[in-house]
Amino acid sequence: MRARELLITNARIILPDEVIEGHVHIQEGKIAAILRGDVTRARLTAEVQVIDASGLHLMPGIIETHSDAIEKEIQPRPNSVFPLEMAMYELEKKMAGVGITTLYHSISSSDGTSVRNDAVVADIIAYTARRREEPSMLRHRVHLRYEITNIEGISMVREMLEQGQIDLLSLMDHTPGPGQYKTKESLRDYLMSTEHMSLEEAGATVDELIEYQQQVDWGQIRELIQLAHTKQVQLASHDDDTLEKVKLMRELGILISEFPVSLEVAKAAKSYGMYVSVGAPNIVRCSSHNRNLRAMDAIEAGVVDILCSDYHPPSLLPAVSIIGETGTGLAHAVRMVTLNPARALQIDQDYGSIEVGKVADLVLVEMKYGYPLARKTMIGGHFVYQSGYYFQGVRAK
């Protein structure tokens, strides 16, 4: 049985603006107090479970706004598709193990591949939406990535918004050009390497995408955006590539700019009051896999608000650690994966920071020879993941 009260003692607590040495008191799944100094047993009731976190950092649970990990879990390689329920349960364990407590599954309605055709997308989203209300190792949310060239799919997106199945909607256009794929050949090569398409199949897919782009009805797109606003669903743009595009996105009421392709565009998005999101893998690898914006350049320019994992969830904690070692400091770096995404997604009244009254979604992190490892992950006062850890040469349990 879970203790009704929990005290995490002697932790390095990462607050929104500072890191302190102290203790966090949890009652009924929420943060009841943040204490500094010594806490004696005399102040605790017999029901309190005490966790000694000496040598560890205590941070809010990571709020991941954009991860396509569920697609990879369903189809780890081309033509190898696993059951959705199995994929979701296995993914939960992996996410808890890297400190993610709220995951916006970025599910892509785009190109008709095994996990991105509308029939499969509908199944994944319906299942994920149901999982939002069930006990889990993870808070499940739905981030639908809608490729605007998927003209037939717009009615499906509209229906999902009406049914309340979507928590975040992003608009994408991967047609070759100034965006993520500069040339037809770069997109063709991507499809050949990731989807194992033949040269002819990939070339035909690219040509079809270009043809569909000419048929996009922006009147319907605007209606979709208005419906999302009505349903209080936050919106994101994707791979903003020009000043004109980012200006248009903001005028349409879109508040999050994901993966701007240049520093100039990232600065423009920030100037329009948008939340700028970049990929943690870009930080860890020191470059974009598509030779676009180097994320650390944008961070050093002060225009990044959010880190997401995109295609590699284990990159989040190491990226936070790398950023924390710069002049921005650890508290600022942690905000990029906790409080800032919570604010962007309008859930910060309950999640995203260690503050009295907020839900106790927390992670204890050990710096193992300079590398951050999630050692205990908590959802609403429940430990959903824990592993043995070493500190000061002593094995702790």
DSSP letters for 358-387: SB--EEEEEEETTEEEEEEEEETTEEEEE-
Cα-Cα end-to-end distance for the chain: 18
**Which one is predicted more confidently, 92 or 119?**
92
Predicted pLDDT at 391: 47
Q: Per the confidence metrics, is the pTM higher than 0.95?
A: no
In total, the chain counts a number of residues equal to: 397
Predicted pLDDT at 149: 84
- Average of pLDDT values for 91-107? 97
Provide the 8-state DSSP code for 61. Answer: P
Asked whether the beta carbons of 125 and 144 are under 8 A apart, the reply is yes
Confidence of residue 394 (pLDDT cuts 50, 70, 90): very low
CA distance 158 to 224: 6
pLDDT surpasses 80 at 283: yes
Asked whether the beta carbons of 122 and 166 are under 8 A apart, the reply is no
- State how far Cα 90 lies from the chain centre: 18
CA distance 118 to 258: 23
* C-beta atoms surrounding 249 within 10 Å: 23
Axis-axis angle for helices 118-131, 154-162 (nearest 10): 20
Q: Which of 72-76, 256-260, 264-268 has the lowest mean pLDDT?
A: 72-76
Provide the 8-state DSSP code for 80. Answer: B
pLDDT digits (tens, 9 = 90+) for 206-242: 666 666 566 678 899 999 999 999 999 999 999 999 9
Predicted pLDDT at 174: 62
Confidence of residue 110 (pLDDT cuts 50, 70, 90): confident
Q: Which residues of 292-325 are buried (b: 16+ CB within 10 A; e: fewer)?
A: bbbbbebbeeebbbbbbbbbbbbbbbbbbbbbbe
Q: Per DSSP, what are the bridge partners of residue 19?
A: 14
Which residue do the tokens 């604010």 mark?
Answer: 343
Which residue do the tokens 């430990």 mark?
Answer: 383
Q: Average pLDDT of the chain?
A: 88
Predicted pLDDT at 287: 83
Provide the 8-state DSSP code for 103. Answer: E
Instruction: Using alpha carbons, select from 156, 174, 170 the residue that is nearest to residue 65.
Output: 170
CA distance 364 to 53: 8
pLDDT digits (tens, 9 = 90+) for 314-370: 999 999 999 999 888 999 999 999 999 999 999 999 999 999 999 999 999 998 888
Which residue do the tokens 């650390």 mark?
Answer: 296
CA distance 348 to 353: 8
Confidence of residue 48 (pLDDT cuts 50, 70, 90): confident
pLDDT surpasses 70 at 244: yes
pLDDT surpasses 80 at 176: no
* C-beta atoms surrounding 130 within 10 Å: 11
**Which one is predicted more confidently, 249 or 216?**
249
Asked whether the beta carbons of 320 and 336 are under 8 A apart, the reply is yes
pLDDT surpasses 60 at 389: no
pLDDT surpasses 80 at 37: no
Predicted pLDDT at 1: 37
Predicted pLDDT at 10: 94
3-state secondary structure 264-314: HHHHHHHHCCCEEEEEHHHHHHCCCCCCCCCHHHHHHCCCCCEEECECCHH
pLDDT surpasses 60 at 194: yes
Q: Per DSSP, what are the bridge partners of residue 365?
A: 57, 374
Instruction: Quickly list DSSP for 219-259.
Output: HHHHHHHHHHHHTT-EEEEES--SHHHHHHHHHTT--EEES
The domains located in the chain, with CATH, are 5-60+353-396 (2.30.40.10), 62-344 (3.20.20.140)
Confidence of residue 397 (pLDDT cuts 50, 70, 90): very low
CA distance 394 to 197: 52
CA distance 226 to 41: 55
Confidence of residue 77 (pLDDT cuts 50, 70, 90): confident
Percent of the chain with pLDDT over 70: 86
